[in-house]
Amino acid sequence: MDEALLRELVPAVISVLGRRGADFASAEDAVQEALIRALDTWPDDPPRDPKAWLVAVAWRKFLDAVRAESSRQGRELAVDAEPPAGPAPATDDTLRLYFLCAHPTLPPAAAVALTLRAVGGLTTRQIAAAHLVPEATMAQRISRAKRRIADLPLDQPGDLATVLRVLYLVFNEGYGGDVDVAGEAIRLARQLAALTDEPEVAGLLALMLLHQARRASRTGPGGRLVPLAQQDRSRWDTALIAEGVAILQAALARDRLGEYQAQAAIAALHADAPSTEETDWVQIVEWYDELLAITDSPVVRLNRAVAVGEADGPQAGLTALAEVDPGLPRRTAAAAYLHERAGDLARAAELYAEAARVATSVPERDHLTREAARVRQLLGP
């Protein structure tokens, strides 16, 4: 059974139920039940028209739920019991569903979970496993999100920038489980790119592909972090890099630069370099300047300072770093790196140790602890 196809059909099926009169929450619940039944029955008895099968089963599930509620409250059934005969309609409200699941009123974590379930077609168990939380916790998060947007119509105009932020969170927040959530984010970005010709959508897809291309080289045995300079570039996926660069070039040709296109341009320059030393750091600094003009982000300012250190020397990097908020996560680690490159090993060792103490993840803490020990060894007794 093609589970990827199954998940691709989910938003379209939810949209069909919505046009027949189902509210979003009820439609989404009914489609989830239909998905579970499909997973049980399709391997032995695949339907000729998968979308029509899902629509029919989900509609029956929805009607059963409405009848039960109507019976409990003594109300009349307010929807047509019989769906139109024939194949499922071709109209697709998937883009509007993206907007609804990534609504600005939702907290980011809730928007990510709802997008994965309603647009991505993942089950609550799969989403919970990917984020390393109990299934009951994830179910509550999704239920609260659906209640929050319960009264919003599906045809309400949405904010594409919010959708892109949510998809980028999806790409970055998958940790485990039996589903590759980063891969799901790429699938959803491809789907979104097919629904709209906005260059920033293409820029986000290119950025995801370029990051995904380096995924296999980012960690070593036991989950140890491998910095960019030490990564085995022969393990980078050249096909993904080529695809990402081609998508990015087409987007940049539209001359409507956005933050994801600028980030993708930086990632493309890293992907194109045979080594850290051969990287075009001057051009990377220029792209960071473009990105700062768009976002004025402290994180971008921090990354730019490191790039300046590579392009113009560590002292220039430290000067740029002085303009970054001292409380920003990873600023201390960046200072340690630049001090080491400047030859101030004693200060670098202190800063690596300090950065390890405030690290936000175990792999990062362990990496910085090893860096502190390495530099202390260089110092000698």
Tokens 């820029």 sit on residue: 203
pLDDT tens sequence across 96-109: 888 888 888 888 88
Q: With 50 as the cut, is the pLDDT of residue 91 above it?
A: no
Gyration radius of the chain's alpha carbons: 24
pLDDT tens sequence across 223-282: 899 999 999 999 999 999 999 999 999 999 999 999 999 999 999 999 999 999 999 999
The rounded percent of the chain whose pLDDT value lies above 90 is 57
* pLDDT on residue 77: 47
Q: With 90 as the cut, is the pLDDT of residue 300 above it?
A: yes
Kindly state the average pLDDT of the residues 70-96.
56
* pLDDT on residue 68: 78
Rounded to the nearest integer, the mean pLDDT of the chain is 89
The rounded percent of the chain whose pLDDT value lies above 70 is 90
End-to-end Cα, the chain, rounded Å: 63
* Local confidence band at 71 (pLDDT 50, 70, 90 cut-offs): low
More confident residue, 263 or 152: 263
* Local confidence band at 22 (pLDDT 50, 70, 90 cut-offs): confident
* pLDDT on residue 21: 84
pLDDT tens sequence across 135-149: 999 999 999 999 888
* Local confidence band at 82 (pLDDT 50, 70, 90 cut-offs): low
More confident residue, 223 or 338: 338
Kindly state the average pLDDT of the residues 202-208.
98
More confident residue, 239 or 65: 239
Q: With 70 as the cut, is the pLDDT of residue 204 above it?
A: yes
* Local confidence band at 83 (pLDDT 50, 70, 90 cut-offs): low
Kindly state the average pLDDT of the residues 116-130.
87
